[in-house]
């Protein structure tokens, strides 16, 4: 893998809602997007789990979730709130951001909840190829990051470890990565700067010219700019409904496919990494 450029085009947040699920399913069927991860504690998880059972040839991970960033759309742990009280606000929902999670979370409750999330995915027939972290919240503290890595060992599946994502959440890379850890060499993801300038699609095109040797991953969040998604992401243009429609449109387009073909980019997924 280190001798050439490989790329995973990966969808986060499957299971979040119906709009997200429909876009994820269609994107996988188009064949450019080749990996996704599923939020097992969200209201529309079951729909995505059914799709995964009926289409086991696609690549599915578990999107470990400890935060809920939306203003009016709320979700919390799969365990009873009484078992993980440090992970929720006064209304029993996950905290809105990493800072609040970092301030309140008790590590033993984090581990218990995340094991329950993985086991729920397994119970519903998902055979996860990897684990990753919603908002990379498991990088909020060093002890949470250790739980994250330990879960990969416990369930014998890789976890998404990457320098860019660790630095994004303020976690020191050198102090928290060991030589035996499997690292994704480069993570690419859009930022609000590109979105507000109307250049998000341009950014994605530029990624194809800036892949590094080894394993690259593009993290996207496709959904439709419909009434459901607009209501969920109200007052949250960062990864909002318009952003997610751009992700869907670009990564299901003939333009995207042509660029991949022209540059001879090799698409892989997490299953390939486990062979």
Domain boundaries, the chain: 5-273
Give the domain 5-273 fold: TIM Barrel (3.20.20)
State the average pLDDT for the chain: 96
Q: What is the pLDDT of residues 5-38, one digit of tens each?
A: 999 999 999 999 999 999 999 999 998 999 999 9
For residue 275, the model assigns a pLDDT of 76
Region 147-174: mean pLDDT is 97
For residue 3, the model assigns a pLDDT of 66
Four-residue CA torsion sign, 255, 23, 118, 125? negative
For residue 9, the model assigns a pLDDT of 98
| Distance from C-alpha of 24 to C-alpha of 11, rounded to nearest angstrom | 7
Per-residue pLDDT band for 226 (boundaries 50, 70, 90) equals very high
Q: What is the pLDDT of residues 236-254, one digit of tens each?
A: 999 999 999 999 999 999 9
| Distance from C-alpha of 150 to C-alpha of 267, rounded to nearest angstrom | 28
Inform me whether the pLDDT recorded for 123 exceeds 60.
yes
| Distance from C-alpha of 190 to C-alpha of 193, rounded to nearest angstrom | 8
Percent of the chain with pLDDT over 90: 97
Per-residue pLDDT band for 274 (boundaries 50, 70, 90) equals confident
Where would I find the beta strands (DSSP E) of the chain? 5-14, 35-38, 60-64, 131-133, 186-189, 214-220, 266-267
For residue 95, the model assigns a pLDDT of 98
Dihedral of the CA atoms 126, 129, 135, 139 (nearest 10)? 130
For residue 137, the model assigns a pLDDT of 98
């Amino acid at each position: 893998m280190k001798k050439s450029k490989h790329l995973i085009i990966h969808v986060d947040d499957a299971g979040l809602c119906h709009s997200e699920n429909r876009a994820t399913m269609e994107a996988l069927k188009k064949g450019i997007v080749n990996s996704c991860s599923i939020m097992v504690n969200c209201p529309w998880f079951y729909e995505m789990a059914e799709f995964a059972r009926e289409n086991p040839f696609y690549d599915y991970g578990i999107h470990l979730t400890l935060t809920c960033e939306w203003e009016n759309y709320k979700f919390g742990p799969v365990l009873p709130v009484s078992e993980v009280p440090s992970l929720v606000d006064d209304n029993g929902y996950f905290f809105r951001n990493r800072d609040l999670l970092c301030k309140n979370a008790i590590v033993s409750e984090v581990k218990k909840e995340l094991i329950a999330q993985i086991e729920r995915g397994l119970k519903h027939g998902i055979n996860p190829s990897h684990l990753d972290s919603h908002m990379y919240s498991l990088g909020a503290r060093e002890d949470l990051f250790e739980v994250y890595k330990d879960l990969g060992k416990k369930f014998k599946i890789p976890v998404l470890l990457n320098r860019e994502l660790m630095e994004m959440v303020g976690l020191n890379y050198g102090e928290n990565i060991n030589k035996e850890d499997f690292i994704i060499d480069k993570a690419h993801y859009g930022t609000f700067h590109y979105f507000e300038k109307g250049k998000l699609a341009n950014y994605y095109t530029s990624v194809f010219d800036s892949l590094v040797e080894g394993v690259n991953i593009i993290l996207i969040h496709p959904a439709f700019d419909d009434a459901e998604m607009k209501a969920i992401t109200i007052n949250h243009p960062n990864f909002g409904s318009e952003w997610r429609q751009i992700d869907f449109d670009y990564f299901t387009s003939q333009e995207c496919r042509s660029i991949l073909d022209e540059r001879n980019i090799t698409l892989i997924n997490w299953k390939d990494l486990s062979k």
